[in-house]
Amino acid sequence: MKIKVNSKDNADTCRIVTGSPCGYVIFGASGDLTRRKLLPAVFSLFTRKKIPNNFFLVGFARTPMDDDAFRQRVRDAISQTDDESSQTETDAFVRRCFYVAGSYDQDEGYLRLKAKIKAAEIQFSTDGNLVFHIATPPSLYATIVTLLGNNQLVWRGCTTTPFQRVIIEKPFGRDLASSVQLNKDLLIHLCDEQIYRIDHYLGKETVQNILMFRFANQIFEPAWNRNYIDHVQITVAEDIGVGHRAGYFEQAGLLRDMFQNHILQLATLVGMEPPVDLSADSIRDERVKFMKSIRPFDLDNLHGQLIRGQYGAGKDGALSMKAYREEQGVGATSCVETYFAMKLQVDNGRWQGVPFYIQAGKRLEKKLTRITVVFNKVPHCMFNTKKSGFNPAPNRLIFDIQPQQAISLLFQAKVPGSKMCLSSLAMELDYHETFGEKMDEDYSTLILDCMLGDQTLFWRKDSVETSWKLLTPVLEQWESCNREARRDLLHGYVAGGWGPEAGQRFIEKDGRTWFIE
């Protein structure tokens, strides 16, 4: 379908905003996340002039390294994802990169960091503005912020000019008690306006678009409720396994890894009420309100609401894929879930009786993140006669988040020629075809928002705690079971397929089916 973009409509909102002068400090600078995501994201902001020349980056980690060695790592990291930038741009960026090696729990390294920052602030005129990005193992978050505070690298309330902001990676806690404690620890040295709890799904263009789509188009709002919608389903499938992250994953499992944060945010964007305005707090108020209206899990009947699975071995063509329990770092009797299917009920006027089905898994057939809103069937369908045997599929609105980025509306239309033949057709908006230009990566969007002081796409304290409040009883019940009981409840599936059969039955027993093709 051809989509015409009328850019004159929105000349003002499409303005490209540039971050303020600032220094950006990464804790965990020798790690995987820094290499794969953070450095390419910041470099892309730099080359696209979304951050000014008054900018520098300091990496901090335990690995001994000097500035030159770090700069080489920066070059390697950006060359993995970028093939468009010139040598001059790369050189200009790398010149702004510095490194400090130190222990996370000793003042000494922080004092050297402070000296490095001071020198860079003068060299690049960054007005004292600082963003700290904590991308270390979660057990270090509180220690790092405490030492930043003790060494006067941050101080509570420093929100305007100069600003000090701290980005905290997920997972933010591992249950309700630990997330409450982490918030308390951070709030000794920072106020909530300085804390940017990141969820990279909220930085994806297609995720952000859900809000625009819902609240800038009047035609959908009247139908966006229990009167017209049968159910909502969310699939977050990954083809990769745990790779070399088994150490973390064995402690987390997929519910902590994906549901408590990314997936719950997707459900929330579909389900929340319209905010009164576009301020970060108005939007976050509505997000947390929706989370609070999700019915707590019924622990006495959990299998009706949640099933867990774990991948076994499989094949991808000639390539053999290991079972989860054979992955390096995974115990031979591990009962950690790599798949789940879930049904959420929402107790509010809009969604009462409309289930939200969710399935997510690692080592599934392909990467697919998709939200499908399935509308009710036509109440009386005259086309569905004994003779025609035709049973028109209900309308579906599909948000394809990745890898394809698209919105499609499925509807019925007459097939030309034949007298009475209908077919399901899709009206599709594909982002790349329509907007062409390279879109910002999730991390670029979020880092820039932090530099701009916009917290809309970050988690607020109350929503983190609300999400853990929902999930913690389920995790505790599971963790209190002995290994045999867990093993009996865990459904095996072949790597490279669509999850356990129980995942299919889970939705089919309600007369519905996963839309994954």
Residues with active-site annotation: 262
- DSSP secondary structure string, 416-452? SSSSS-EEEEEEEEEHHHHH-SPPPPHHHHHHHHHHH
**Nearer Cβ to ligand BG6 (238/465):** 238
207-212-214 Cα angle (round to 5): 95
- What's the CA gap between 29 and 52, in Å, rounded? 22
Q: Which of residues 159-188 bind ligand BG6 (CB under 6 A)?
A: 170
- What's the CA gap between 49 and 69, in Å, rounded? 26
121 binds ligand BG6 (CB under 6 A): no
What is the size of the binding site for ligand BG6 (CB under 6 A)? 5
User: Considering only CA atoms, which of 185, 187, 29, 3 is closest in space to residue 101?
Assistant: 29
- DSSP secondary structure string, 301-315? GGGGTEEEEEEEEEE
- Closest contact distance (angstroms) between CB of 243 and ligand BG6 is 9
Tokens representing residue 103 in the block: 């222990």
Non-local (6+) Cβ contacts of 380 within 8 A are none
**Nearer Cβ to ligand BG6 (183/369):** 369
- How far from chain centre, in Å, is Cα 398? 18
Whether residue 32 contacts residue 70, with contact meaning beta carbons closer than 8 Å, is answered with no
337 binds ligand BG6 (CB under 6 A): no
Helix, strand or coil, per DSSP, at residue 32: helix
Among 230, 238, 286, 327, binds ligand BG6 (CB under 6 A): 238
- Closest contact distance (angstroms) between CB of 10 and ligand BG6 is 27
327 binds ligand BG6 (CB under 6 A): no
- Closest contact distance (angstroms) between CB of 253 and ligand BG6 is 11
Q: Which of residues 42-101 bind ligand BG6 (CB under 6 A)?
A: none
- How far from chain centre, in Å, is Cα 491? 26
- Closest contact distance (angstroms) between CB of 238 and ligand BG6 is 5
User: Considering only CA atoms, which of 101, 108, 113 is closest in space to residue 63?
Assistant: 101
- What's the CA gap between 451 and 270, in Å, rounded? 27
**Contact map string, positions 187 to 226, toward ligand BG6, x by CB under 6 A:** -------------x--------------------------
> What backbone phi and psi angles, to 5 degrees, belong to 311?
-75, 140
Q: Count CA atoms closer than 13 A to 477's CA, side-chain side.
A: 13
**Nearer Cβ to ligand BG6 (175/238):** 238
- DSSP secondary structure string, 470-509? HHHHHHHHHHHS-HHHHHHHEEEEEETBSS-HHHHHHHHT
**Nearer Cβ to ligand BG6 (90/268):** 268
User: Considering only CA atoms, which of 361, 335, 329, 306 is closest in space to residue 496?
Assistant: 361
Q: Which residue is nearest to ligand BG6 (CB)?
A: 257
- Closest contact distance (angstroms) between CB of 262 and ligand BG6 is 6
Bridge partners of 364? 497
- What's the CA gap between 96 and 42, in Å, rounded? 12
- Closest contact distance (angstroms) between CB of 210 and ligand BG6 is 16
**Nearer Cβ to ligand BG6 (96/308):** 308
- Closest contact distance (angstroms) between CB of 369 and ligand BG6 is 6
Tokens representing residue 300 in the block: 């006495």
Which amino acid is present at 411? Answer: F
**Nearer Cβ to ligand BG6 (309/355):** 309
**Nearer Cβ to ligand BG6 (27/163):** 27
Q: Which helix (H) or strand (E) holds 178?
A: helix 176-189
230 binds ligand BG6 (CB under 6 A): no
**Nearer Cβ to ligand BG6 (50/170):** 170
- What's the CA gap between 163 and 127, in Å, rounded? 9
**Contact map string, positions 345 to 384, toward ligand BG6, x by CB under 6 A:** ------------------------x---------------
Among 121, 175, 257, 465, binds ligand BG6 (CB under 6 A): 257
Is residue 140 packed enough to be buried (19+ CB in 10 Å), middle (13-18) or exposed (0-12)?
middle
**Nearer Cβ to ligand BG6 (312/361):** 361
- Closest contact distance (angstroms) between CB of 259 and ligand BG6 is 11
- Closest contact distance (angstroms) between CB of 337 and ligand BG6 is 12
Question: Which residues here bind ligand BG6, judged by CB under 6 A?
Answer: 170, 200, 238, 257, 369
